A and B are shown apart, each in its own frame.
Chain A
Amino acid sequence: MKPFAGFAAAAVLLASCEEWEPVYTLKYDEPANYERVTMTPTHTIAQLAAMYEIGNPKTIEEDIIIAGKVNSSDQSGNFYKSFYIQDETGGIEVKVGRSSLYSDYKEGQTVYVDLHGLTIGMYGYKTLKEYADGPSGGNGLVQIGLEDPTNEYETSYIEVEPIINAHIFRGQDGDKVKPVVLTEKDLPGRTATLKDSPVLGKLVTIKGLKYSDKIFTLAYINSNLDKKASSNRIFLSDQTWGVTTWAMSKNLFVQKLDEGAFDSVKIGNSGDYNYGTVADHKDEIRSNAAAATVSQYFTCGKTELAVRTSGFAKFGDAEIPAEVLNGSATIDVTGVLSLYQGDIQLTINSLDDIVVNK
């Protein structure tokens, strides 16, 4: 019976191992909620943004910490892979590079960014030029990301979890950011920066916007092919092309395509219309169709601005009310204010951010 005794002893020893605990209890205590950190910012957002010079993305080598409250949410899909934070001096985009960020970074929550090793750069600027029909080009908005070795953009997404964990810290929860109400005179100029327009990147409300009967959308014959090739590009601009929604999901885009709404659109960049029309490429466009981001243009007094909505936004296919489209009603829009090549853009968090004035 000796082997038995030895074996029993071995069994007892085994039973004391860590892995046995789950086997017998199958109980796992619920983890505590995560700890909210408090840090002392060294710079305001405007101070950080001021360190950027147009065309020169800057990798921060000093211990700079900024703090801000989250003012955007990717819950409805209109923001994607990044969120904005704002302090008194302005707002800035943090290019986290992950999806469903609203699960981790709540609107109103204070977020600290330790910038040492991160890069600030600008998206969407173009040298300002004066044309006969008005100025074109201008600034974009400063973003926080990582160096982009491909130089395709000034910054790339932070994206890698250990890098995110080392630079982005979650602080106290708070009430949602209250939008700043702007009038036409508060709107930024084409070359504005946070220095002269501290509302950039902030959540703002602009009231009494009037529909200006035009959209801007860039679609492709085949988005799997070169998106920069003029022969692959479809610009829907200067009129509405029958698009009466905030954006177009893939299904809606295909529906409009099949209805012939875009048939007469010429393929190619402006001044390079050498590739026929949408009607000539319909089958290929349909089989490679993707959701389309739409800028719907409005005017605030004499200033034009775009409400830009992603084709992946859950509310993208929602119809703009008819009374807005026919100009008999105006809207109040709350969204994150930004510039793209000098043009003013508003990006809304949800459809609740549009209020129709009847």
Chain B
Amino acid sequence: MFRKATMAVIALLCSLSLLAQDYTGGVKGKVISRSDRSPIQQASVTLFQGAVEIASTASDTEGDFLIENLADGMYDLVIKAPEFLDTRVNVTVNDGYVKNMFNLSMSPSVIAQELDASNFAEFDLDDSGYSDNPTILFGQNDVFNEIAGYNFSSVRFRARGYSSESQDVYLAGVKMNDAMTGSAPFSLWSGLNEPTRTKDAYDGSDVATFAFGGYNGTTNIPVLASYVRKGLRGSVLTNSALYRLRLMMTYASGPLDNGWSYAFSASARLGGNDWIDGIYYRSFAYYASAEKKFNDVHRIGAAFMATPGQRGAQNSSTQEVYDLVGDNMYNSNWGYQDGKMRNARVRKTHEPIAILKYDFTPTEEFSLAATLLYRFGKNGYTALDWYDAADPRPDYYRNLPSYFYMEESDYNRQNPFKAAWAADAWSTGYDQNLIHINWDRLYNVNQNSIGEGGRLRSKYVQEERRVDQRDLNFAVSYKWRPDNHFQLTGGADAKINRTENFKVLADLLGGEYFVDIDNFAEREFASSEGKLQNDLDYYFAHGQAKTLEKGDKYGYDYLAQVRNASIWSNAQLSFGNFKGNVAASLGATSFWRDGLVRKGLFAGLDENGNEIKDNAGNVLTTYNPQTGEVISSYGKSVKNNFLTYGVKAGAEYRLGGSMRFYGHVGYMTEAPKFNKAYLSPRTRNSIVNDLTTIKNFTADINYQLTLGTWNFRATGFYTTIEDQTDVMSYYDDLQNAFTNLALSGIDERHMGIEVGFKIPTPVQDLAIQGAVSYGEYIYTSNPRMTQTVDNSAEVTILNEIVPYWQSHPVYKKNADGSFILDDEGNGIFDYDKKHYVPSTPQLAASIGLAWNRNYWFIDGDVEYFAKSYLDMNPVYRTDFAAAGPDHLETPSEIEYMSAQEEFDPAFLVNLNIGKSWYIDRKYQIGFSLNAKNLLNNKTVKTGGYEQTRLVDNTVGKERYYRFDSKYFYNNGMNYMLNVYFRF
């Protein structure tokens, strides 16, 4: 019986194998990454017929695979690879041919991508000079970026300590970094996750196929219809950290037989969150694209997209405020009105992008892509504005207990009774109107402010600061690969940007009109009516300042005009296991300011070149006290022209199929950005001293191992950034003025290592993964500072060195902390304490376990962050601040005033769970749940800034004190649940 059966089986097998050998049919194809079209090696390719496994193989180093000996019929091809989502496709073999599936693309299995890059809370930083924009890492099949991109994002980790302005982001081949600020404008497409999911990313200073790039990575989002995953997809997401609900729907046709592809997407993000009151989303997004391929040579495509909507912003407060309220997530931007939370600071945007792209592929060796892209629309940000009325901010320092009582008697704040009352009001919250914006009071003030003709003149209004861009771009790039050893890429691009900066009256808050005069100038020049005018020409024409209604422009109005163009080329050679490249770029940038209104304080000259006088005959024209040049608010500034260039080289050596040693080196200059070039662009044409190109040198070496499910990458990097400028404006209530600080000659050095790994454990489907970024990002120069105030032509500080910027001296101390003095009574120098590039942990580490089986994934990680520093304000690093009113610098004053705060290290724990199901092999439904900060750690500082003010009315009159710094904190435990489906 047994023998019979055995024989039967053998016979069957034989016949099967005999039969099989007779078949000529088969399946072949190339497995590639959807994100960058790079081949995926060692992908497992399994062929099923029904539920029966017929054959399996693995892709080779070029991603190619071949399965032969197949009978005609319908099959399912299942492709799996680490770091990618499983892919399943139907294959029909007929007439005995080997079916060529060509490119089979796989999507990276990066869970982090669900929360798009711009989903960081909108921080309210306008008056602080502090900038906050974490760089976003794309998990492009790179183990470090994948882990760091997700797990480090909550603390606003910046890769290698670089600012987000240095990260180049392209859309359909056009550089999208903001023409004013340079920052990567992820918010332009946030909510369009599906159309922007495919990305082509290059790390560090690697030269991209579409651009020369900088030193902090270059990413292109191809965005047109053919790059959007085929099918109908939808998802519902809820999230406790940003918004309650996200709805998203996308349809993409994929390439159709007639050469067309088209795609549509729309989404909505709505609601508040569990942690920060006042932050809400009311954001929508739409996207449409079509492409048409004419034979294999021409392809033309277009896309139109935007993310209209509004988001409430968060403000930072001092630790005193957080402690009083008992909540590090207190937000001072909102108050109750009509029983609802109303946020005074709301970002309102609608900036569409229109794209026209042409691809030309005449031969297999040559391809060319050209894109025309236009960005336009409105970008507004509301804020309270007030005229001759008390500061409405609830956490204004004069409302806090520390304003009434400080233990140190030298502060001259010795009223514990008042302090107790103030503390009581804050901590018990018995009157919510005291600890939040008191909208009722603002309205009441306006309702009782009888002005001209009995009309109500608003004292408090809501303004909307607008930065409306018109940004026209053209980019072309080509790729020529005559043989397997040589490849030449290159391109050219040009940009014309015209950005109008102005503000409009958004809400009169119960009043009937507002008047367009400069509140601050009035304090200083009350008797000169001409100097108070925001619009002097209107005043001359009508005899009085403009009376404003809702929606009127007021305050300031100027154009920022930016032009730039560049060309670049990259030559790449490969022989056997060696690959090398050299690249160069050349560019020109020009920008100028064009004032559209004449401000009384900086009247400039009239069209005939004559001084301007007020009605009383007093000269209004002002001159720079140093250069004697006319300071003008009106008309065109001088054009600032910069010639920039860059050279880069790279080399790579492959050892076996799995190891890669590679490195890059580059030197690049870049033009300063408009927003860091003018002393006070809202009021005048004056530019920062010593404005010059920024010089960057960068080098890195890397080792990468990719072997089966083993993944490892280690990188060492070294970068210097020199001759940066910075400007910051803030309201100084001691001077009753907007004060502008301009810094020039800021140098930085960033060096460190990055390590990422994912390796299998003996437990099946369980891998251990980790990432470490450890670096030293420091300042290496003492910049020069110029200080001006908006309400006068006076230059308070002229191009003076900031001596304690890059470091400060530490003096020798006794065991009790007192200073050891020499014979002359001076402190004894001990060592210099370095100052660091702020707002990112310089040590970040993550270790975790990832389990992945049968469309389930569970992933738990522990993170550690340390060496994160507070953004410094230059005033505290001057001799002036350290000396105090007596002009004597003592060791204790220097150490107190110039020290930089280091944040406490922090541990965070994250957990992710997901699962997807296939229904009838056609439909897919799944969910992912990301839980962050499971330890509910609410004391992790993510950033902040020092206030630019000094306590100067001390008792001793010997020294100054700092104002308390302001901070932002990481959310406590939060989750995101996403449910998605695909048809």
Among residues of A, the one whose C-beta sits closest to the C-beta of B340 is A22
Which of the residues A34, A106, A225, A317 comes within 8 Å of B440, measured between beta carbons?
A: A34
Q: Does A226 contact B (CB under 8 A)?
A: yes
Residues in B whose Cβ lies below 8 Å from that of A147: 417
Q: Does A160 contact B (CB under 8 A)?
A: yes
How many angstroms from the CA of A314 to the CA of B341 in the assembled complex? 37
Query: Quick one: given A18-B340, A103-B445, are A26 and B282 in contact (CB under 8 Å)?
Result: yes
Q: Which stretch, A7-15, A177-185, A296-304, touches the partner chain B?
A: A7-15
Residues in B whose Cβ lies below 8 Å from that of A8: 236
* A7→B979 contact, CB < 8 A: yes
* B885→A225 contact, CB < 8 A: yes
Q: Does A116 contact B (CB under 8 A)?
A: no
Nearest-neighbour CB distance to chain A for B248, whole angstroms, equals 13
Which of the residues A31, A162, A225 comes within 8 Å of B431, measured between beta carbons?
A: A162
Among residues of B, the one whose C-beta sits closest to the C-beta of A101 is B390
* B424→A30 contact, CB < 8 A: no
Q: Does A263 contact B (CB under 8 A)?
A: no
Q: Which stretch, B95-103, B524-532, B692-700, touches the partner chain A?
A: B524-532
Q: Interface on chain A toward B: helix, strand, loop, or mixed SS? A: loop
Residues in B whose Cβ lies below 8 Å from that of A159: 398, 404, 418
Among residues of A, the one whose C-beta sits closest to the C-beta of B310 is A26
Between B415, B953, B979, the greatest number of chain A beta carbons within 10 A of the residue's beta carbon is seen for B415
Query: Quick one: given A22-B341, A28-B342, are A103 and B390 in contact (CB under 8 Å)?
Result: yes
Q: Does B799 contact A (CB under 8 A)?
A: no
Query: Quick one: given A23-B270, A150-B415, are A34 and B526 in contact (CB under 8 Å)?
Result: no
Q: Does B957 contact A (CB under 8 A)?
A: yes
Q: Does B416 contact A (CB under 8 A)?
A: yes
Query: Quick one: given A26-B282, A161-B425, are A31 and B445 in contact (CB under 8 Å)?
Result: no
Q: Does A175 contact B (CB under 8 A)?
A: no
Nearest-neighbour CB distance to chain A for B568, whole angstroms, equals 45
Nearest-neighbour CB distance to chain A for B863, whole angstroms, equals 29
Q: Does B689 contact A (CB under 8 A)?
A: no
* B244→A14 contact, CB < 8 A: yes
* A156→B280 contact, CB < 8 A: no
Nearest-neighbour CB distance to chain A for B273, whole angstroms, equals 9
Contact with A along B895-938 (1 / 0, CB 8 A): 00000000000000000000000000000010100000000000
How many angstroms from the CA of A7 to the CA of B280 in the assembled complex? 21
* B421→A162 contact, CB < 8 A: yes
Residues in B whose Cβ lies below 8 Å from that of A149: 414-417
* A20→B443 contact, CB < 8 A: no
* A19→B341 contact, CB < 8 A: yes
- Tell me which residues from 427 to 455 in chain B have a Cβ below 8 Å from any Cβ of chain A: 431, 434, 439-440, 443-445, 447-449
How many angstroms from the CA of A30 to the CA of B338 in the assembled complex? 7
Which of the residues A106, A222, A249, A316 comes within 8 Å of B885, measured between beta carbons?
A: A222
Q: Does B422 contact A (CB under 8 A)?
A: yes
Among residues of A, the one whose C-beta sits closest to the C-beta of B281 is A23
Interface size class, chain B: 35 or more
Which of the residues A22, A77, A103 comes within 8 Å of B280, measured between beta carbons?
A: A22
Q: Does A130 contact B (CB under 8 A)?
A: no
Which of the residues B245, B281, B415 comes within 8 Å of A11, measured between beta carbons?
A: B245
Q: Does A126 contact B (CB under 8 A)?
A: no
Nearest-neighbour CB distance to chain A for B508, whole angstroms, equals 10
* A224→B953 contact, CB < 8 A: yes
Which of the residues B421, B448, B524 comes within 8 Å of A163, measured between beta carbons?
A: B421
Among residues of A, the one whose C-beta sits closest to the C-beta of B449 is A103
Query: Quick one: given A100-B388, A224-B952, are A156 and B415 in contact (CB under 8 Å)?
Result: yes
Interface size class, chain A: 35 or more
How many angstroms from the CA of A75 to the CA of B445 in the assembled complex? 14
Which of the residues B280, B399, B445 comes within 8 Å of A161, measured between beta carbons?
A: B399
* B272→A23 contact, CB < 8 A: yes
Residues in A whose Cβ lies below 8 Å from that of B425: 160-162
* A160→B404 contact, CB < 8 A: yes
How many angstroms from the CA of A23 to the CA of B272 in the assembled complex? 8
Q: Does A29 contact B (CB under 8 A)?
A: yes
Q: Interface on chain B toward A: helix, strand, loop, or mixed SS? A: mixed
How many angstroms from the CA of A156 to the CA of B405 in the assembled complex? 13
Q: Does A98 contact B (CB under 8 A)?
A: yes
Residues in B whose Cβ lies below 8 Å from that of A106: 448
Q: Does A4 contact B (CB under 8 A)?
A: yes
How many angstroms from the CA of A322 to the CA of B524 in the assembled complex? 25
Q: Does A315 contact B (CB under 8 A)?
A: yes
* A28→B337 contact, CB < 8 A: yes
- Tell me which residues from 48 to 83 in chain A have a Cβ below 8 Å from any Cβ of chain B: 75, 77
How many angstroms from the CA of A159 to the CA of B340 in the assembled complex? 29
How many angstroms from the CA of A249 to the CA of B531 in the assembled complex? 15
Residues in A whose Cβ lies below 8 Å from that of B533: none
Which of the residues B389, B416, B422, B981 comes within 8 Å of A103, measured between beta carbons?
A: B389
Among residues of A, the one whose C-beta sits closest to the C-beta of B430 is A162
- Tell me which residues from 387 to 404 in chain B have a Cβ below 8 Å from any Cβ of chain A: 388-390, 398-399, 404
How many angstroms from the CA of A20 to the CA of B270 in the assembled complex? 8
Query: Quick one: given A11-B245, A20-B271, A250-B524, are A31 and B417 in contact (CB under 8 Å)?
Result: no
Q: Does A251 contact B (CB under 8 A)?
A: yes
How many angstroms from the CA of A305 to the CA of B40 in the assembled complex? 95
Between B425, B527, B979, B981, the greatest number of chain A beta carbons within 10 A of the residue's beta carbon is seen for B527
Nearest-neighbour CB distance to chain A for B238, whole angstroms, equals 7
Residues in B whose Cβ lies below 8 Å from that of A173: 448
Residues in A whose Cβ lies below 8 Å from that of B524: 249-251
* A249→B527 contact, CB < 8 A: yes
How many angstroms from the CA of A98 to the CA of B445 in the assembled complex? 15
Q: Does A21 contact B (CB under 8 A)?
A: yes
Query: Quick one: given A99-B390, A160-B421, are A3 and B927 in contact (CB under 8 Å)?
Result: yes
Among residues of B, the one whose C-beta sits closest to the C-beta of A2 is B925
* A315→B526 contact, CB < 8 A: yes
Nearest-neighbour CB distance to chain A for B18, whole angstroms, equals 47
* B418→A4 contact, CB < 8 A: no
* A23→B280 contact, CB < 8 A: yes
Residues in A whose Cβ lies below 8 Å from that of B389: 100, 103
Residues in B whose Cβ lies below 8 Å from that of A4: 236, 925, 979, 981
How many angstroms from the CA of A11 to the CA of B390 in the assembled complex? 42
* B417→A162 contact, CB < 8 A: no
* B340→A249 contact, CB < 8 A: no
How many angstroms from the CA of A147 to the CA of B953 in the assembled complex? 21
How many angstroms from the CA of A356 to the CA of B245 in the assembled complex? 70
* A28→B418 contact, CB < 8 A: no
* B280→A249 contact, CB < 8 A: no
| Chain A contacts to B: CB under 8 angstroms | 1, 3-4, 7-8, 10-11, 14-15, 17-24, 26-31, 33-34, 75, 77, 98-100, 103-104, 106, 146-150, 156, 159-163, 165, 173, 222, 224-226, 249-251, 312-318
> Known pairs A22-B340, A224-B953. 20 more at Cβ < 8 A?
A1-B925, A4-B236, A14-B245, A20-B271, A22-B342, A23-B281, A28-B340, A28-B439, A29-B337, A29-B338, A30-B510, A100-B459, A103-B390, A103-B445, A104-B445, A162-B422, A224-B952, A249-B525, A251-B525, A315-B527
Sample (21) of A-B pairs whose CB atoms are under 8 Å apart? A8-B236, A17-B244, A19-B244, A23-B280, A28-B337, A30-B443, A34-B440, A77-B526, A103-B445, A104-B445, A146-B418, A159-B404, A160-B404, A160-B418, A165-B431, A224-B952, A225-B886, A249-B526, A249-B527, A250-B524, A314-B527
Q: Which 5 A-B pairs have the closest CB atoms?
A: A314-B526, A19-B272, A317-B527, A29-B338, A31-B440
